[in-house]
Amino acid sequence: MSLRKGSQVWVEDKDQAWVAAQVLDSVGKQVQVVTASGKKVLTVPTKLFPRDADADHGGVDDMTKLTYLNEPGVLDNLERRYALNEIYTYTGSILIAVNPFTRLPHLYNVHMMEQYKEAPFGELSPHVFAVADASYRAMINEGQSQSILVSGESGAGKTETTKLIMQYLTYVGGRATGDDRSVEQQVLESNPLLEAFGNARTVRNDNSSRFGKFVEIQFDANGRISGAAIRTYLLERSRVVQITDPERNYHCFYQLCASGRDAEKYKLDHPSHFHYLNQSSIYELDGVNNAEEYIKTRRAMDIVGISYEEQEAIFRTLAAILHLGNIEFSPGKEHDSSVVKGQKSGFHLQMAANLFMVDVNLLLAALCTRSIQTREGIIVKALDCDAAVASRDALAKTVYAKLFDWLVEKINRSVGQDKDSQMQIGVLDIYGFECFKNNSFEQFCINFANEKLQQHFNEHVFKMEQEEYHKEEINWSYIEFIDNQDVLDLIEKKPIGIISLLDEACMFPKSTHETFSTKLFQNFWGHPRLEKAKFSETDFTISHYAGKVMYQTDTFLEKNRDYVVVEHCNILSSSNCPFIAGLFSSLPEESSRSSYKFSSVASRFKQQLQALMETLNSTEPHYIRCVKPNSLNRPQKFENQSILHQLRCGGVLEAVRISLAGYPTRKTYHEFVDRFGLIALEIMDRSYDEKTTTEKILQKLKLENYQLGKTKVFLRAGQIGVLDLRRAEVLDAAAKRIQCQLRAFIAHRDFASTRVAAVCLQACCRGYLARKEYAAKREEAAAIVIQKYARRWLLIGAYRQIYSSTLLLQSSIRGFLARQRFLCGKENRAATVIQARWRMCKVRSAFRHRQTNIIAIQCRWRQKMAKREFLRLKQEANETGALRLAKNKLEKQLEDLTWRLQLEKKLRVSNEENKLMEISKLQKIIESLRLELDAAKLATVNEFNKNAVLQNQLELSMKEKSALEREIISMADLRNENAVLKSSLNSLEKNNSLLQLELVKAKEDNDDTLKKLQEVQERFAQLQKNLQSMEEKLCNLEDENHVLRQKALSASPKGSHPGFAKPFIEKLSGAFVLPSADRKAVYESPTPTKIIPPLQQVLSDSRRAKLTSERHQENYEFLLTCIKEDLGFKDGNPVAACVIYKCLVHWRAFESERTTIFDYIIEAINDVLKVGDENVTLPYWLSNASALLCLLQRNLRSSGFMMASSQRSVGSSGLNGRVAHSLKSPFKYIGFEDGVAHVEARYPAILFKQQLTACVEKIFGLIRDNLKKEISPLLGLCIQAPKIQRVHGGKPSRSLGGILQQSPSSQWDSIIKFLDSLMGRLRENHVPSFFIRKITTQVFSFINISLFNSLLLRRECCTFSNGEYVKSGLAELEKWIAGATEEFAGTSWHELNYIRQAVGFLVIHQKRKKSLAEIRQDLCPALTVRQIYRISTMYWDDKYGTQSVSNEVVAQMREILNKDSQNLTSNSFLLDDDLSIPFSTEDIYMALPAIDPSDIELPASLSAYPSVEFLLHRTK
């Protein structure tokens, strides 16, 4: 590396690992540097790494973009991003996740998952969702299974990261249709279940996974989750019986002890009373409630399908293990024997036996003895106390391991595996590389697994490097690949490997760890990866990829031997509990001779690992490296040494070394020329393209071994330092020239300023003397003028004061008189109105009384005639028996009608009671308001009285004042008393002013009182209006309720009414009776109503039904033609809507009790919307459907109960009325007779209006969604500015208005064209301005949301130049909105509020001088603190190099966010898209203008239909 004075470097430090420094001088072969803290260090150049002085404050999101890809650069970039809560960073395709140790819910909500869904990898900010989405998309697109490998040390967040991956996969994958159970929920809920039984507290983490987990999520051909499987590795069984302080046992034990009733049932107490739990003093975790966690565990068991009986058996087994640990032993009577110690141990032994459901004596024998089978027979050997304790612990570990395996198997069976699945995504959550002070067999297995995974990782990284080189078409054949196969051979190679030697040693009973170590050193003497410890004969050191680890072999053999005691298995397999018996299967016959069954843990782990590697090799891998920032588990604390160690263990630095072996520095030609173009300005002045310019710059500096790709230049390690050194030299020379010119300019400026100052000083002195003399003369003249004007001013003031007082009194008196006259006139008018109302009421009462008498007389006459007829019929009935049957039938009908009448009366009484109660409530409110009004009026009268008193006092004071003035005039010649009179005059003026102030105050109080009175009156009027509107709504509701009630009661035959009255009516008058069939035809006939023919001329039923069906068919065909054809518009009104409405009214479809014509219209409209061109069909039918809806709303009323009430009267309510009804003109229903435009609507018409409202909303939603789909690709191109081509001379345009002076890009032009096209389509179809305004507003709201969210998710968009680019585009949108006018654009400009403020913040200068209050109140009032924080931390100035907001502002925002982190509603910094309909039905009625359908003529193409001849006749 080339170093010079002033070079920025990294130097090693014991505490901070690496610190920033600057080169001071060279001392021989060493270099002296000074650190940022001022410390001077002397070191060799090989221990220094170059540092990028121009590095961005917020770091880079992909560390392959670092100018210097080295160890300190990676560490510094992670620290910069972590300080800004940017916990995710890419290294190529590898994601590094730093545990924040705080809740960041805004990063993991549903909206964030929606943003990363189908987003290209690397386009948005680094995130675990991006890796999950990349794996899912690769699986769907390529049809190949994927795997995500999550690694890191304990506490780094592996488990939480795995949860987030599974959460995202369930979001995008969901559940396959047709499944009975929620697979995704079971997969997610399996996490807390496995955490309860497999996680524990360690020194570094409160929720550390003590097993490896590989979750395989299976998908069907449609990409939906169809199944899952979970595999576990190397559960830490020893933790069940032995823990160290301050660690804990597995969580499930503490949850069970805190379970309440269940704990009492199993005789459990506080964890401190159990040996397996009280070895550590930690029983509770911060922020964790064990009782609540127990409930969550139970719920997780329910979800994964574990029955209640199995749950009880699981927790009974856990309780048995705890009781088993409290069994203590004491020496027995025989030699080397043992017995249970004391009653307490006996109680726990009895409880363990009861919970295991085994015989207590058999359990005691299994713990204290061993059976050895020999040729002579079985020999029972007693065990001493230590052996009995070891046997007890072995039983506990075996039971727990069996229980854990059963849980995993149960989860797999419950979730279900899809055997037909061809695509899977596996998520591997496995322990990271471990290196402690004492490393035993567990660390050896863990590090062996990590060596395997590291080899797989290296191959993947090298493959990614190859793909990058292939993509850029460069030569890479000579790059060396870093491999760790020699370490793997050392550990697992057969027949000579550490695992093989360990298994061989375990096979011999007399082998010890000393003999194992001796044999190990003999076989691997001189191996470069294996070393013997200096101070131990048995310990050995392996050089892993992450560093050297020393292993202590003291317990290697014991932990590798996984003995299963036959007696334990036999006694538990015979348990009365089916669950416990099912955990233990009988031993094979060949093993039954031995009391122990040996199994190698290392070999079994090796086989599992090999199967895992085969699975990973068959998939496409994705890597996530979790990092723990500090050992205290605190937020915003970054320990460099610890993180550097984790980066080494996680293989990140290994990946960096692989990159360094090739071409670590890669820059696009644009970036390279932009940074290093000033080295060769003569090349820049020529018209070369960027690739040629880059090549000539490198050739000028005589660099070799670089590669020129298609879009990037690839530099070898150290070459970027040479370029930066040469660039610094050019900049230094330019700086010296600038300094020389600047010093000359400053000297010349100082001399000129000194000379000018001397001349100015002389002129000032002379001017001062002249001004002083002039000022004296001017003051003398001014004194005379002041005296003159002062006297005049005093006299004028006195006169104006008297004049104003006089005017005030006059105006008050005139106002009082005018108000009196007004009140008198108001009372007269009120009396006149009362008289008129009383006379009207009196006349109406007389008319109603007369009408009642007339109806009574008619009823009596009809009753008399009916009685005569009844008597005649009765006589005839007595003659024959057949008539008696008719009588019984008529009596039954009479009872039925009586029951209906009583039911109707009850319903009417209940409605009247409800109405009276509502009216009484409103009357009480009116009375209270009237009382308030009276009180206000009384206060007003009191104020008027006070004003009168004050006016009298003012008149008296004015009289006194006039008298005093007369005295002053009379005594003007007496100079001696002048002073006395002046003082008295001043006192009177003061009194007068005080009185005037009191008068003004009284007038103000009076005005306030009048205002309050006016407000009360307005409120009273408003309440009256509300009362009136509520009464109208009540009437409408009663009408609709009656229609619905009538619909419900119509189940009985309607022919009962005419059937009952038929005998009498036929005899009375055959010409005036309307049969029931013809009455029904009144509502269903498509022709105008005619005079009803006599009964003899009525057609037969079959003939009439046939004609009716033919008419209906003709009507349907005509409506279908109207809906399918584009009938256009006339004077802005839709022809189709008006024609359909007039036909429905003429056919009396709205009055029909039963009809299918409305459903036919809605279905036809929906069919047209599906078939036609959406850009034309949707606006056309939005206009027609809304117009038809408004016609229905304005011309229909649900008051059909008027006709129903007439039918409910006895017999027929007046034959004359029915005949008159039949003779009415049909135009009354259309709304052209007597100015009445209302049609009485029945239930189907009301339902049709609701369906039409839903249709309008549906069409509006379809238009909105289609517009969003069309504009989304355009917005994706508009969020980021295109690269600006360089001007002649190679110097980029960096003027302040460089971007603003350019015309908007084609992307923004396409947005404008899209909006113009939208507006044209809507206006061509005469869509009402109300809908156009709503659509435009929604489109601009979507533009605001899309641009703003993209800005917050993509760091390359948060730049100064991009802000200028987007701002210019927003200016074009503002011009379009202004051109569209407020009638069609509405509040569209206001909808862009978020993106306007965000872009305005990007393009302001001197952000560091802005305080947080100024930013929130002046610059970004609409943005939340989290959004401002996001923009501030992601901002970087690519144009002028300025910095973002100050560190103080960032600290303030972070403090606010930490306080607000619990509020989930405010944690998301992204905007949500509102999918609701932005208007109600009432808004449509109020906004749309009235339409007169009579002005619409029938199109010529529809005149051939006979069912619409009435429209042609009316037109003629």
Catalytic residue annotation: 154-155, 159, 205, 208-209, 432, 434
CB 1421 within 8 A of CB 1373: no
484: how many CB neighbours lie within 10 A of its CB? 20
- Sheet holding 707-708: strands in order across? 665-668, 712-715, 707-708
The number of angstroms, rounded, from the C-alpha of 848 to the middle of its chain's C-alpha atoms is 66
Report how far residue 501's alpha carbon sits from residue 521's, in angstroms, rounded to the nearest whole number.
Answer: 11
Helices (H), 1085-1134: 1101-1124
As to burial, measured by CB atoms within 10 angstroms (0-12 exposed, 13-18 middle, 19+ buried), residue 883 is middle
What letter would DSSP give residue 1516? -
Token readout for 60 is 């880079």
CB 1260 within 8 A of CB 1167: no
Q: Whose CA is closest to 1434, among 1450, 1423, 1452, 1421? A: 1450
Helix (H, G, I), strand (E, B) or coil at 329: strand
Angle formed at CA 754 by CA 753 and CA 760, multiple of 5 degrees: 85
The residues pairing with 372 across neighbouring beta strands, listed in sequence order, are 379
Token readout for 1125 is 């054809």
Report how far residue 309's alpha carbon sits from residue 44's, in angstroms, rounded to the nearest whole number.
Answer: 71
Label residue 1043 left, alpha or beta by phi (over 0 means left) and psi (-120 to 50 means alpha): alpha
Cis before residue 495, ω within 30 degrees of 0? yes
Residue in the block written with tokens 């046992």: 249
Phi, psi dihedral angles at 42 (to 5 degrees): -110, 120
Q: Whose CA is closest to 1054, among 1032, 1030, 1079? A: 1079
Helix (H, G, I), strand (E, B) or coil at 96: strand
As to burial, measured by CB atoms within 10 angstroms (0-12 exposed, 13-18 middle, 19+ buried), residue 397 is buried
DSSP 894-912: HHHHHHHHHHHHHHHHHHH
DSSP 617-677: HTSEEEEEEEE---TT--TT---HHHHHHHHHHTTHHHHHHHHHHS--EEEEHHHHHHHHG
DSSP H or E segment with residue 375: none
Strand 378-382 and strand 369-373: pairing?
antiparallel
Residue in the block written with tokens 């127990």: 294
As to burial, measured by CB atoms within 10 angstroms (0-12 exposed, 13-18 middle, 19+ buried), residue 632 is exposed
The number of angstroms, rounded, from the C-alpha of 1194 to the middle of its chain's C-alpha atoms is 41
The residues pairing with 1446 across neighbouring beta strands, listed in sequence order, are none
CB 1279 within 8 A of CB 1357: yes
CB 318 within 8 A of CB 368: no
Report how far residue 647's alpha carbon sits from residue 1441's, in angstroms, rounded to the nearest whole number.
Answer: 31
Spell out the long-range contacts of 120-127 with Cβ–Cβ below 8 A and sequence spacing 24 or more. Answer: 121/93, 122/62, 122/90, 123/1354, 124/1353, 124/1354, 125/61, 125/86, 125/88, 125/1353, 125/1354, 125/1355, 125/1434, 126/61, 126/62, 126/86, 126/88, 126/89, 126/90, 126/95, 127/88
CB 44 within 8 A of CB 696: no
